[in-house]
Amino acid sequence: MAQSVPLALRDIDKEQLLEFLLRYATTQTSVGVQTSRIVVNTTRIAHAYGYELTIMMFQRNIAMTLTPVLEGAEGSYQRLDYAHPVTGMSQHKHSPLNFYLNAELSRLSWYTYDNHPDLAELEARFERILTTQPVNRWLVLYLISQANMCLCLLFGGDLVSSLFVFLGTFLGFLLRQELNRRHAYIYLTICLSAFIASFIVGLGAKWGLEGSPEIALGASVLYLIPGVPFINGIMDLLDGYMLNGLSRLMTAAMIVVSITVGLSGTLLLLGLSLL
């Protein structure tokens, strides 16, 4: 026998809730969450307020339909005869990957499911997560450059080559940060970043200072490899979200092409070869 949803939950403004869920879902997309997790987290919040949620995700947009339901035994939901669903659509956002936001947004869905806060509190918690002070950009820049340098050493590069990799990665990633702040075209950003990073390393090879120029040139662009889009694309395909999976894999492939163009520019300009 179905149990009635508490009156306080029925009084939630469903249009306001739908608007929040759209922003919540698109924010998850922007920080690198796979589709199945976005659907589960967003649906969990809808269930907390006595609504069933239907989500359609596309490459650039997301559509949702919110329907009032009754909660039955064993977590089942029964649609009400007098239910009036509402539907909304929003565009996906584009932001840097952020695993902290990934975890905190998932935690917010569980808090909502367990505590049923009002929408004002839910909005406040959501905004608090989004406005969390990010990690210092210079620290990120140094750590990524150091990681690329270590990868060069790990792959058999000499010390001088790894120092050029550090400098190239530092300047290439700095350029990427600045272009991202100015909302430059993503593939142009990747191409220019790959060119700058590999060009600095290529100068060391051209001057005969590096003992392992092939390893150094290969390592100089590793920070641009789209690991998360590749992983999320495969996971989406395995979960049955074919359009999203193919879209993310194509995005990853385009990033690889952009890296290749930037690296090829260095090789042609300096007359170098990786063979």
Pick from 62, 95, 130: which residue ends a domain?
130
Same domain assignment for residues 54 and 111: yes
Same domain assignment for residues 112 and 67: yes
Work out the mean pLDDT of the chain and round it to a whole number. Answer: 87
Q: Crossing angle, helix 35-48 and helix 227-239, to 10 degrees?
A: 70
Same domain assignment for residues 118 and 230: no
In a domain, 163, yes or no: yes
Alpha-carbon dihedral sign for residues 118, 119, 120, 121: positive
User: 62 forms bridges with which residues in the sheet?
Assistant: 57, 90
Measured CA to CA, the distance from residue 234 to residue 166 in angstroms comes to: 31
- Tokens 């950009």 — which residue? 137
For residue 8, pLDDT over 80 is answered with: no
Pick from 86, 106, 130: which residue ends a domain?
130
In a domain, 2, yes or no: no
Same domain assignment for residues 234 and 214: yes
In the prediction, which pLDDT does 1 show?
38
3-class DSSP state of 53 = strand
Measured CA to CA, the distance from residue 26 to residue 16 in angstroms comes to: 16
**Confidence bin at 256 (pLDDT 50/70/90):** very high
Alpha-carbon dihedral sign for residues 9, 10, 11, 15: positive
- Tokens 């200072």 — which residue? 209
Same domain assignment for residues 145 and 259: yes
Measured CA to CA, the distance from residue 59 to residue 26 in angstroms comes to: 11
- Read off the DSSP letter of residue 3: B
- Long-range (24+ apart) CB contacts under 8 A made by 114-118 are 116/6, 116/8, 116/9, 116/48, 116/49, 118/12
In the prediction, which pLDDT does 149 show?
95
Same domain assignment for residues 241 and 154: yes
Pick from 88, 111, 130: which residue ends a domain?
130
Q: How many domains does the chain have?
A: 2
**Confidence bin at 79 (pLDDT 50/70/90):** low
The whole-model pTM stands at: 0.84
Same domain assignment for residues 105 and 146: no
For residue 228, pLDDT over 70 is answered with: yes
Same domain assignment for residues 122 and 182: no
In a domain, 275, yes or no: no
Same domain assignment for residues 144 and 203: yes
End-to-end CA distance of the chain: 72
- Read off the DSSP letter of residue 184: -
Same domain assignment for residues 126 and 50: yes
Distance, CA of 60 to chain centre: 14
3-class DSSP state of 87 = strand
| Percent of the chain topping pLDDT 70 | 90
Kind and range of the H or E element at 22?
Answer: helix 14-30
Same domain assignment for residues 142 and 259: yes
Same domain assignment for residues 179 and 84: no
In a domain, 193, yes or no: yes
Two tokens, residue 33: 């969450």
Contact predicate 122/46, CB 8 Å:
no
Parent domain of 97:
7-130
In a domain, 228, yes or no: yes
Q: What is the mean pLDDT of residues 193-212?
A: 91
Kind and range of the H or E element at 198?
Answer: helix 186-206
pLDDT tens for 102-145 read 999 999 999 999 998 989 999 999 999 999 888 899 999 999 99
Q: What is the mean pLDDT of residues 194-211?
A: 91
In a domain, 54, yes or no: yes
In the prediction, which pLDDT does 73 show?
46
